[in-house]
Amino acid sequence: MLPPVRCFTCGAPLGHLWEEFRRRVESGEDPARVLDDLGVTRYCCRRTLFTSITYIEEIAAYHIVRMRAARSTGEVEGVVEE
Ligand SMILES: [Zn+2]
């Protein structure tokens, strides 16, 4: 899933908070405290940020491997590698 752009329930914009939230939580800060610092007070918005899992980077890695394999077998033409 991609990072949340808006809260799924109330529609409040959250996309601008995602990177800082993720970075601080991954560095070991308490998620509740980070959400408080970011001014996210609604439960629905806190849930949206706290429960979001982004795996686009992992999927993209497999896509590249799959495209390379398909290209080597001639299955796909015109694939642009990065
Ligand atoms: Zn909300």
Residue 34 has pLDDT above 80, yes or no: yes
Q: Show the domain range for 29.
A: 1-51
CA distance 45 to 47: 5
Cα–chain center distance at 69: 26
Question: Within this chain, do residues 42 and 65 fall inside the same structural domain, yes or no?
Answer: no
Residue 46 · residue 40 · CB < 8 Å? yes
pLDDT tens per residue across span 55-79: 777 788 887 888 888 888 877 655 5
Question: Within this chain, do residues 46 and 9 fall inside the same structural domain, yes or no?
Answer: yes
Question: Within this chain, do residues 13 and 28 fall inside the same structural domain, yes or no?
Answer: yes
Ligand 1 centroid, distance to 2 Cα (angstroms)? 17
Question: Within this chain, do residues 8 and 41 fall inside the same structural domain, yes or no?
Answer: yes
Q: What H or E segment, with its residue span, contains residue 61?
A: helix 56-72
Rounded mean pLDDT of 41-68?
Answer: 86
Q: Which residues surround ligand 1, an ion (CB under 5 A)?
A: 7, 9-10, 12, 42, 44-45
Ligand 1 centroid, distance to 21 Cα (angstroms)? 16
Ligand 1 centroid, distance to 16 Cα (angstroms)? 14
Count of domains in the chain?
2
Question: Within this chain, do residues 11 and 42 fall inside the same structural domain, yes or no?
Answer: yes
Question: Within this chain, do residues 14 and 39 fall inside the same structural domain, yes or no?
Answer: yes
Instruction: List the end-to-end C-alpha distance of the chain, in Å, as a whole number.
Output: 22
